[in-house]
């Protein structure tokens, strides 16, 4: 009789009665890796698909349900964040140079100003691009702080705010990935990211808090503006200090 490779219990069917792991072969093949990936990504009943659907259609309701214990069928916040951030970064690195060129052309950052700080705008952008996968982990804690601050009446604690923030930022990665597909044709489509930011997060927060529309919009806009301003300031500070140390 076969034994479970995870806990050693004898298996009588396709799953272990002790730990629930599926009956698998010892060797890992390319076929098994691709099969596991496709099951996670493509199956309609997969936790990933269900979480994406919930966060797109009714994010506020999903978060309330999640806090009330309805979690088994969905992907946990940090794996969800990591998976969608990976997809986002793949797309970003395809158009990153074009995006920064577009930003540079839109800004007036004179060489004299660059000389004062000791490094160029391109060096700053290169540093951010290299460390983007780490820098994005700073955003959910900041967003969580302002959600907790402006939506105290919901009695949401900081831990819950952090979970909410990981889901929101991950969903932002999803929308941004679609926008970057459009940006491959015209980089100006990247401007849509700001529009989606000011539509989606208020939509999610108002639905979650069940507050009246006007009050919810004002509070949500405050959350978005202060969160991303603080995040941008923190990224600029980290970049400045890091480049000064390197220099």
The pair of structure tokens assigned to 162 is 């952090």
pLDDT at 147: 97
Q: What is the pLDDT of residues 177-199, one digit of tens each?
A: 999 888 878 878 888 888 888 99
Q: What's the CA gap between 224 and 230, in Å, rounded?
A: 10
Kindly write down the DSSP assignment for every residue of 127-173, as one continuous string. Answer: HHHHTHHHHGGGHHHHHHHHHHHHTGGGT--HHHHHHHHHHHHHHHH
pLDDT of residue 115: 46
pLDDT in tens, 60-80: 999 999 999 999 889 999 999
Q: What's the pLDDT score for residue 129? A: 86
Q: Is the pLDDT of residue 207 over 50?
A: yes
Element (DSSP H or E) covering residue 219: helix 213-246
Question: Comparing 158 with 72, which gets the higher pLDDT?
Answer: 158
When comparing pLDDT for 61 and 2, which is higher?
61
State residue 191's pLDDT score: 83
- Paired tokens of 146: 């302002």
The total of other beta-carbon atoms located within 10 Å of residue 113's CB is 10
Whether the predicted pLDDT of 21 surpasses 70: no
Instruction: Supply the DSSP symbol for 16.
Output: -
């Amino acid at each position: 009789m076969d034994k479970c490779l995870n806990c050693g219990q004898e298996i009588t069917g396709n799953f272990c009665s002790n730990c629930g792991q599926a009956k698998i072969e010892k060797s890992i093949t390319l076929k098994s890796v691709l099969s596991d990936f496709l099951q996670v990504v493509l199956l309609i009943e997969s936790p990933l698909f269900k979480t994406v659907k919930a966060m797109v259609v009714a994010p506020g309701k999903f978060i309330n349900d999640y806090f009330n214990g309805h979690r088994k069928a969905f992907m946990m916040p940090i794996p969800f964040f990591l998976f969608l951030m990976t997809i986002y970064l793949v797309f970003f690195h395809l158009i990153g140079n074009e995006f920064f060129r577009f930003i540079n052309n839109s800004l007036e950052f004179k060489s004299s100003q660059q000389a004062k700080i000791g490094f160029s705008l391109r060096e700053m952008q290169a540093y951010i691009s290299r460390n983007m996968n780490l820098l994005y982990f700073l955003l959910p804690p900041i967003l969580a702080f302002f959600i907790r601050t402006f939506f105290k009446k919901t009695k949401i604690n900081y831990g819950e705010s952090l979970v909410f923030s990981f889901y929101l930022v991950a969903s932002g990665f999803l929308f941004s990935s679609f926008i970057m597909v459009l940006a491959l044709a015209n980089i100006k489509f990247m401007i849509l990211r700001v529009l989606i930011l000011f539509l989606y997060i208020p939509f999610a927060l108002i639905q979650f808090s069940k507050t009246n529309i006007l009050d919810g919009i004002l509070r949500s806009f405050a959350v978005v503006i202060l969160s991303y301003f603080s995040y941008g300031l923190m990224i600029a500070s980290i970049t400045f200090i890091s480049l000064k140390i390197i220099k």
